[in-house]
Structure 1
């Protein structure tokens, strides 16, 4: 078969538009798309309208209509992650952990230089904390960031810290880089990260690293809930012990 002859022009253009939008950090205009991709305006407009209707592209109203990637890619990314080995190894452990501790459980990874949560499991507790998935996490408010940052390659760690704006979300948020780095160092020594109402008032989070079979950190396992549970030393130590055991079970699931 001649591969060149099997290319569908409309599909090729639609994929080029998606890749073009994805390559830009800011929304783009129709004129940018037609000029840079050499697509006739009428054709580009029809293709974009179809992509918008399917959720692959999002329209942004303003002085000029602009376009960015749509929410469909989040569901596609979610489906991809669900089939990843880490997700498959972690999911049953997360469900059990949420039930056992009455906390929301989050699975975090570093991807393209940012920390994101790729899955979570909920308990039946009255207070159920939900974290946005596949969105960059503010590292200065994150227990997962505190424990995984020291385990990143040096360049990736430096870039992540330099990119942080250290924005204040609560009175407890760490907004000073030096203070944050000391907290990261302490977390590394302790073997866990703790968010003490730094992201949201009344909410605490405890996180530990997840390792593969050769002790490379491949993610984080965190629990989130009412700060009251984390303020009781015996409860804190119990949750930490259970969390560490859960992380080890994920590692075992990965190598089975």
Structure 2
């Protein structure tokens, strides 16, 4: 006979796939990303595309409107599963390291904040369905260790932004913790990605140094956040069974 005090129904997931560490959505997403990169590589060798200089001149002719368009586009991308890496590298190509970093940080921060409040409005159950296979990962990491978990997941290579955004709103990470952790983790990651785009456009020593320093900071912060997250989780009481 079913228990009269059953907990809230969790979204159906493939436990076998999860336990074995197979995340098909991540495999599909990475495969699509590789295909897109190969297509872009083919276009670069076979199609005459505008040079970076001509694109930058066109953007400059738009004035401040180009900043608003880029920030708005980036914010919308941050609301979706589309990798924000694409926008950050594009920011470096179009605006350079300094200007591109500022615009990228503003754009992605607005998008992340917006997703947080969308999840707050939708509620936990609706957001859980939206997260799909990312539900359990977000819940496991964000419960009871919000600040450290947000920093770690933001910096974790290959882990997308959008489950962190929606999961933080759904699983009760406080807004001050979420905003501070996001700002702390977003800046070095975005600067390093923007610098890659700028280096592609103008391969010089300065841009190369920014890329190296940016990724070194990301690695150190990821290690620190993981250690802090493990400490908080180890000190948290285990949930009672039954």
Q: Report the TM-score, using the length of structure 2 for normalisation.
A: 0.25
* Greater helix share, structure number: 2
Structure of higher RCO (CA pairs closer than 8 Å, 6+ residues apart) = 2
Q: Report the TM-score, using the length of structure 1 for normalisation.
A: 0.24
